[in-house]
């Protein structure tokens, strides 16, 4: 259950960060209305708050979170940007998740 909860928290954290960065991107590049910066700021605040909910040392959380962030970013590429990930993208995600697993499992062994 702990693994499922931590994984869901990592995914939610990544989505909050990506939304918080994507909306200003739309405002700058796609000429979205200025009001999109309000939910962007709220999303980034949620991202920071969500990081505080992770159960281990912050440096380890940030390092492990990176693997999930890369995974969610590639999913975003496919689902939002409409660009199908390549085999290279999949290999990069697998490598990042392997690194994350090493960090988190090693932390659990202490």
Q: State pLDDT tens for residues 38-71.
A: 999 999 999 999 988 887 767 777 888 888 899 9
| 56 φ, ψ (degrees, to nearest 5) | -130, 180
Structure-token match 């994984």, residue found: 7
- Kindly indicate the confidence band of residue 6, based on its pLDDT and cuts at 50, 70 and 90: confident
**Helix 58-79 with 37-52: angle, nearest 10 deg:** 140
Which tokens is 68 given?
Answer: 């999930």
Return mean pLDDT, the chain.
89
Instruction: Using a pLDDT cut of 90, give the percent of the chain over it.
Output: 60
- 55 Cβ contact list (under 8 Å, min separation 6): 6
Q: What is the pTM of this model?
A: 0.83
């Amino acid at each position: 259950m702990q693994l499922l909860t931590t994984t869901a928290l990592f995914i939610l954290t990544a989505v909050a960060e990506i939304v918080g960065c994507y909306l200003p991107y739309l405002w700058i590049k796609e000429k979205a209305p200025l009001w999109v910066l309000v939910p962007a700021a709220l999303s980034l605040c949620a991202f920071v708050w969500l990081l505080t909910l992770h159960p281990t040392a912050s440096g380890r959380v940030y390092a492990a979170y990176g693997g999930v962030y890369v995974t969610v970013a590639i999913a975003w590429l496919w689902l939002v940007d409409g660009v199908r990930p390549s085999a290279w993208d999949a290999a990069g995600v697998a490598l990042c998740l392997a690194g994350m697993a090493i960090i988190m499992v090693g932390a659990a062994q202490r």
